[in-house]
Amino acid sequence: MSLKTARRAGIAPFIVMDVMRAARVRDEACASPGDLTVHMEVGQPGTPAPSTVRAAAKAALDADRLGYTDAMGVPQLRARIARHYRETYGVGIDPARVCVTTGSSGGFLLAFLSAFDAGDRVALADPGYPAYRNILKAIDCVPVGLPATAASRFQPTPELLDAAGGDLAGLIVASPANPTGSMLSPAELEALVGWCRRRGTRLVSDEIYHGIVYGEPARTALSFGDDMFVVNSFSKYFSMTGWRLGWLIVPPDLTRAVERLAQNMFISPPTLAQVAAVAAFDARDEMDGHVRSYRANRDYLLAELPKAGFREFASPDGAFYLYADVAHLTNDSTEFCSRMLAEAGVAATPGVDFDPERGNRFVRFSFAGTMADMVEAAKRLKAWRKA
């Protein structure tokens, strides 16, 4: 008799991770270092964690027992995150509402489990971060894709929400967004907050790319009230992807529920990362220098990629991605990216990871690496397209 397999075991892959694996396999077979893959598939900063963080980690390894912490995180870090909202956005946050999480992924899981029941419908823009959709399905919620277009910079709108019909238990927004890099204006974000409040829909605001913007600063959803979740992370702006640390600002009515879930599911976030991350907020000049590098990478690719046939992009107002319309080149972005990796040695992510319905004609390039990576990628892509 065969043993049962849970339905959630059939969860869709996070395709970017599959691309990373394929790139690793390719590199293992490379005869020359000059032929190694140029990685543009993943949002991995090409810079290390801040020097302040690395110094704090070394000190903690020598002096700290590094045992379990409170499920919601060490008090010093929770207080420092609350101070960050006061200093950066002018918004007062009670540290009791701050939950330190194992990456932003832990924050999304805690938010979804505390706010949504099985069968609840939760809206999100397509294209959007694939883990939203896949986590919701794994916990038996129903993701409702909103077919956003270039006209709204691929962001959700009240009109798209109205068209979704039926009760929506939640709405996920991201500004700057992955994969597009587009941003909501303060008025647009406020309109979405108001739409949710009038209908009793819980808002979850993904703000992990705050700090990586190329124009006006991003506005936090907390500017418009305290009845929503805000998810952030040390991975992107602070270049701490492998430290697996994020945070969740919790609505006051759900703080104890989130704490109970965190106790049972995670016990506590990684202690070394927490102790060191307190010092991350003292490295603004260093991090802002990285953002200037991302801007230079973006501007270089916007000038060079059209020479390789990539001409139409979503508005890259923040984050470090270019979401390219490749409908004139292919109707199968998965096959296209596979050939690009094999023949040009450039790894990028097919749009179907972000939009199951229309992503077959889009590709996402990450420009989080070094300028040398961008120059080499453009060189390879131009040669590939001419071949």
Domain boundaries, the chain: 7-48+284-386, 65-282
122-161 pLDDT, tens digit per residue, is: 999 999 999 999 999 999 999 999 999 999 999 999 999 9
CATH 3.30.420.10 fits 7-48+284-386, yes or no: no
53 and 276 Cβ atoms separated by less than 8 Å = yes
Tell me what the mean pLDDT of segment 298-311 comes to.
97
197-255 pLDDT, tens digit per residue, is: 999 999 999 999 999 999 999 999 999 999 999 999 999 999 999 999 999 999 999 99
Mean pLDDT score of the chain, rounded to an integer? 96
| 54-58, 63-67, 213-217: range with lowest mean pLDDT | 63-67
pLDDT of residue 242: 94
Give phi and psi for 170, each to the nearest 5.
Answer: -150, 160
pLDDT of residue 148: 97
Which two tokens mark 22? 């394929």
| 29-38, 255-264, 350-359, 376-385: range with lowest mean pLDDT | 29-38
pLDDT of residue 140: 96
Is 80 exceeded by the pLDDT of residue 106?
yes
- Asked whether the bond before 179 is cis by omega within 30 degrees of 0, the reply is yes
Tell me what the mean pLDDT of segment 10-14 comes to.
90
pLDDT of residue 1: 78
339 and 346 Cβ atoms separated by less than 8 Å = no
pLDDT of residue 33: 84
pLDDT of residue 31: 78
Is 80 exceeded by the pLDDT of residue 281?
yes
Q: How far apart are CA 308 and CA 379, in angstroms?
A: 9
20-53 pLDDT, tens digit per residue, is: 999 999 999 987 888 899 999 999 999 999 999 9
What's the alpha-carbon Rg for the chain, to the nearest Å?
A: 21
316-331 pLDDT, tens digit per residue, is: 999 999 999 999 999 9
Is 80 exceeded by the pLDDT of residue 352?
yes
Is 90 exceeded by the pLDDT of residue 312?
yes
Tell me what the mean pLDDT of segment 352-360 comes to.
97
Q: How far apart are CA 248 and CA 259, in angstroms?
A: 11
Confidence of residue 315 (pLDDT cuts 50, 70, 90): very high
Is 80 exceeded by the pLDDT of residue 387?
no
Which two tokens mark 263? 């106790």
What's the fold here for domain 65-282?
Aspartate Aminotransferase; domain 2 (3.40.640)
Q: How far apart are CA 234 and CA 104, in angstroms?
A: 8
Q: Which residues pair with 325 in a beta bridge?
A: 312, 362
pLDDT of residue 2: 86
